Amino acid sequence: MTAYKKILIAVDLSEDSAEVAQKARAIGGDNAAEMHLIHVIEPLSFAYGGDIPMDFSGIQDEIHQQATQQLATFGTAHGISAERQHIVLGRPEVEIHSAAEEIGADLIVVGSHGRYGLALLMGSTANGVLHGATCDVLAVRVGDGD
């Protein structure tokens, strides 16, 4: 097996994100793999389907600013430099695939809550990333699996 050279760590900035980053660092640390972080912000218009006639731009800007600060703090705590931290707006699975291809990642590490039944059918980011990725994907089980 060849060593991974570029690892993209997809985080949602929840408490579980540290576990995902630690697993990625354990895999790539021995071979000094280049680590990248990505956090994807879903536009509020996706959540509300455009049914509410409201301008979300101010709220969206505030969410972006807070996420940028949180990602910077998270990246520093895990030894990932600012130029390897990516924050984007869009659908998580689409943006994660795009970033992985752009940086030439050979592994994507993402958290998974281990959902089943109806929750799995509704879709999950980890499942979306797994299907359609052009490189290896590691889904790290996090949380209590509710």
**Residue 71, Cβ density class (10 Å: 0-12 exposed, 13-18 middle, ≥19 buried):** buried
Quick one: average pLDDT of 7-13? 94
In the structure encoding, which two tokens stand for residue 86, read together? 């990516």
Give residue-wise pLDDT tens across range 59-101.
888 999 999 999 999 999 999 999 999 999 999 999 999 999 9
Answer for the pair 1, 28: CB distance below 8 angstroms, yes or no.
no
Q: Domain 6-141, what fold?
A: Rossmann fold (3.40.50)
Domain boundaries defined on the chain:
6-141
**Residue 51, Cβ density class (10 Å: 0-12 exposed, 13-18 middle, ≥19 buried):** exposed
Comparing CA positions, the residue from 84, 72, 68 lying closest to residue 28 is 84
Quick one: average pLDDT of 43-58? 66
Between 92 and 32, name the one with better pLDDT: 92
